[in-house]
Structure 1
């Protein structure tokens, strides 16, 4: 039991230590979990996965902008203009709109690739995604961290 607690603490530290410090007001964990539950149900995506991405990308801060990416899920608006128009999303700093655009994109990636690691590598814009897909390299740290944190959240939620 003690080893499990230490391992979970280490995992949480690893995840937190790799996140950029944000100067925005974060949403509460419960609010993000509720939003992820609603959007996840609509798009048939594990809500804990959405929540894990939101934590990794923005630390639950809907106002964050970094390298052309905006909001809770760090959506690159320049690449998703058509998707945003189709979804009626005009404000990527709105947490709901942001997560909907991200979930819609993730759903497309799941349909295209099926493999959760590949989906996360492409979502993150990892240049090694094709190499991973063709078996020339292993998964990215980003994908592994998201999946580990998602599993941790699923455990906390009794799944």
Structure 2
């Protein structure tokens, strides 16, 4: 598992949560680092959770043969793949993902209820519902390096 994030704190957390590698997408040798981490094969799957065109383009470029780019982050901007022939030759794929199924949510709740999934480390803070605007501001501007903020009624 290779976590990719421009924020050093997020990369550190990814390693604490079990990632094998945590890379900075702005590193000049980023593609070489991905190749080294995958023994030259490239990524089997890349999940774009940011919804940023540059992220998608970079992710598509480091996919391996038959690799899939999974679009999780939502944006109204069009999807552009500039690889052209290489994308086709390597039989890469793009797949969209929009939310979770009710069955998936039920499974997550059961895993958490049974102590098999600990979500506590991903919760940065609990905030009163009346301060929702402040919570959104904290997330948007990465104030305090938040992961998840829980609104409490």
Q: What TM-score results when the alignment is normalised by the length of structure 2?
A: 0.29
Q: What TM-score results when the alignment is normalised by the length of structure 1?
A: 0.28
Higher share in strand: 2
Q: Which has the higher contact order (CA 8 A, sep 6+)?
A: 1
